[in-house]
Structure 1
Amino acid sequence: MTSRSPLTMVPATDRVTVVCLAGALDADCCVRLAGELTRHLDRAARQGHRLVLDMTAVPAVGEAARRTLREETGYLAGAPVLVVATPEVRKELEQDDLPGMRLHGTLVEALTSLPPSTAPAPGRPARPRRTGKPPADAESLRGEIFGLRAKARTSGLIGVAQGMLIARYGLPGPAAAFALLREGSQQCNVPLRILASAVVTAPPPQTDAHWFLGRGTHAPPPDTAFVRAYGGDVTDRCHVLAAALDTAIAVAGADAGEVHLTDPAQDHALFLEGRRGLDAAYWDEVALVTGPPVVCAVARERLAPAAVPDVAADEVLSAHPAGQALLAAGRRAVYSVPLITPETYCTGTLTLHRNEPGIWPPPARRAELARLAADVAAWRSWYRRTVVLDALEHLHQNRPDRGAAARRPDGGAAKR
Structure 2
Amino acid sequence: MTDGADVLCLSGILDTEGATALGHELTTHLRTAGSNRRVILDLTGLRLLSAAGIHVLDTHTSHLSENPVLVIVSTPHVREIFTLAPAPGLRVCPTLDAALAALPEMAPRQAAETAEGPEDQADELLGLRAKARTGAVIGMAQGIMLERYSLPGLQAAFDLLRETSQHHNVPLRVLASAVVTAPRPATDSSEWFPGRLRTPPPSPELLDVPGQGAYDRRQLLRTLVHEVVAVADADGAEVHLADHALGNSLVLESHSGLDATYRKHVAQVSAPPAVCARARLLGRPVSVADVTTDPDLLATEEGRAALAAGSRAMYAVPALAEDGACVGVITAHHARPGPWLTHVQLTALRTLADDLARWNSWYRRTVVLDALEHLHAQN
Partner of 1:211: 192
Q: Tell me, in whole angstroms, the C-alpha distance in 2 between the residues paired with 1:89 and 1:236.
A: 30
Partner of 1:168: 148
Q: Tell me, in whole angstroms, the C-alpha distance in 1 between the residues paired with 2:111 and 2:157.
A: 41
Partner of 2:296: 316
Partner of 2:285: 305
CA distance 1:187–1:127, shift in 2 (3 Å): closer
Partner of 1:331: 311
Match of 1:238 among 211, 218, 229: 218
- For residue 280 of structure 1, report the CA deviation from its aligned partner: 1.5
- For residue 342 of structure 1, report the CA deviation from its aligned partner: 2.5
Q: Tell me, in whole angstroms, the C-alpha distance in 2 between the residues paired with 1:293 and 1:190.
A: 31
Partner of 2:67: none
Question: Do structure 1's residue 277 and structure 2's residue 257 form an aligned pair?
Answer: yes
- For residue 225 of structure 1, report the CA deviation from its aligned partner: 2.3
Regions of 4+ moved over 3 Å: 52-57, 86-91, 102-111, 113-121, 142-148
- For residue 118 of structure 1, report the CA deviation from its aligned partner: 6.8
- For residue 232 of structure 1, report the CA deviation from its aligned partner: 3.9
Question: Do structure 1's residue 115 and structure 2's residue 96 form an aligned pair?
Answer: no
Q: Which runs of structure 2 are paired with 1:173-192 in the superposition (5 Å)?
A: 173-192=153-172
Structure 2 contact 175–371 (Cα < 8 Å) conserved: yes
Cα deviations by residue, 1:20-43 (Å, 9 ceiling, x for unpaired)? 99xxxxxxxxxxxxxxxxxxxxxx
Identity of aligned residues (%): 44
**TM-score, normalisation: structure 1:** 0.64
- For residue 343 of structure 1, report the CA deviation from its aligned partner: 2.2
Match of 2:336 among 340, 344, 356: 356
- For residue 110 of structure 1, report the CA deviation from its aligned partner: 7.6
Question: Do structure 1's residue 384 and structure 2's residue 360 form an aligned pair?
Answer: no
Q: Tell me, in whole angstroms, the C-alpha distance in 2 between the residues paired with 1:391 and 1:161.
A: 14
CA distance 1:114–1:283, shift in 2 (3 Å): farther
CA distance 1:114–1:316, shift in 2 (3 Å): farther
Structure 1 contact 226–376 (Cα < 8 Å) conserved: no
Amino acid at match of 2:195: G
Structure 1 contact 90–103 (Cα < 8 Å) conserved: no
- For residue 345 of structure 1, report the CA deviation from its aligned partner: 1.7
- For residue 315 of structure 1, report the CA deviation from its aligned partner: 0.6
Q: Tell me, in whole angstroms, the C-alpha distance in 2 between the residues paired with 1:237 and 1:344.
A: 23
Q: What SS class does the counterpart of residue 110 from structure 2 fall into?
A: coil
Q: How many residues align?
A: 296
Q: Tell me, in whole angstroms, the C-alpha distance in 1 between the residues paired with 2:287 and 2:378.
A: 47
Q: Which runs of structure 2 are paired with 1:17-96 in the superposition (5 Å)?
A: none
Q: What SS class does the counterpart of residue 225 from structure 1 fall into?
A: coil
Q: Tell me, in whole angstroms, the C-alpha distance in 1 between the residues paired with 2:272 and 2:262.
A: 15
Q: What SS class does the counterpart of residue 174 from structure 2 fall into?
A: helix
Q: What SS class does the counterpart of residue 349 from structure 1 fall into?
A: strand
Q: Tell me, in whole angstroms, the C-alpha distance in 1 between the residues paired with 2:241 and 2:113.
A: 38
- For residue 313 of structure 1, report the CA deviation from its aligned partner: 1.0
Q: What SS class does the counterpart of residue 274 from structure 1 fall into?
A: strand
Amino acid at match of 1:247: E
Partner of 2:271: 291
- For residue 329 of structure 1, report the CA deviation from its aligned partner: 1.3
- For residue 267 of structure 1, report the CA deviation from its aligned partner: 2.2
Q: Tell me, in whole angstroms, the C-alpha distance in 1 between the residues paired with 2:224 and 2:28.
A: 29
Q: Tell me, in whole angstroms, the C-alpha distance in 1 between the residues paired with 2:322 and 2:145.
A: 34
- For residue 303 of structure 1, report the CA deviation from its aligned partner: 0.8
Q: Tell me, in whole angstroms, the C-alpha distance in 2 between the residues paired with 1:204 and 1:297.
A: 30
Q: Tell me, in whole angstroms, the C-alpha distance in 2 between the residues paired with 1:120 and 1:104.
A: 14
Partner of 1:37: none
Partner of 1:70: none
Amino acid at match of 1:326: A
Structure 1 contact 262–269 (Cα < 8 Å) conserved: yes
Structure 2 contact 237–258 (Cα < 8 Å) conserved: yes
- For residue 198 of structure 1, report the CA deviation from its aligned partner: 0.3
- For residue 208 of structure 1, report the CA deviation from its aligned partner: 3.9
Structure 2 contact 7–128 (Cα < 8 Å) conserved: no
Q: What SS class does the counterpart of residue 115 from structure 1 fall into?
A: helix
- In structure 2, list runs of 5 or more residues that go unmatched: 9-24, 41-98
CA distance 1:245–1:90, shift in 2 (3 Å): farther
Q: Tell me, in whole angstroms, the C-alpha distance in 2 between the residues paired with 1:162 and 1:120.
A: 35
Partner of 1:74: none
Q: What SS class does the counterpart of residue 373 from structure 2 fall into?
A: helix
Structure 1 contact 304–338 (Cα < 8 Å) conserved: yes
Match of 2:206 among 200, 203, 226: 226
Amino acid at match of 1:337: V
Partner of 1:397: 377
- For residue 146 of structure 1, report the CA deviation from its aligned partner: 4.4
CA distance 1:54–1:305, shift in 2 (3 Å): farther
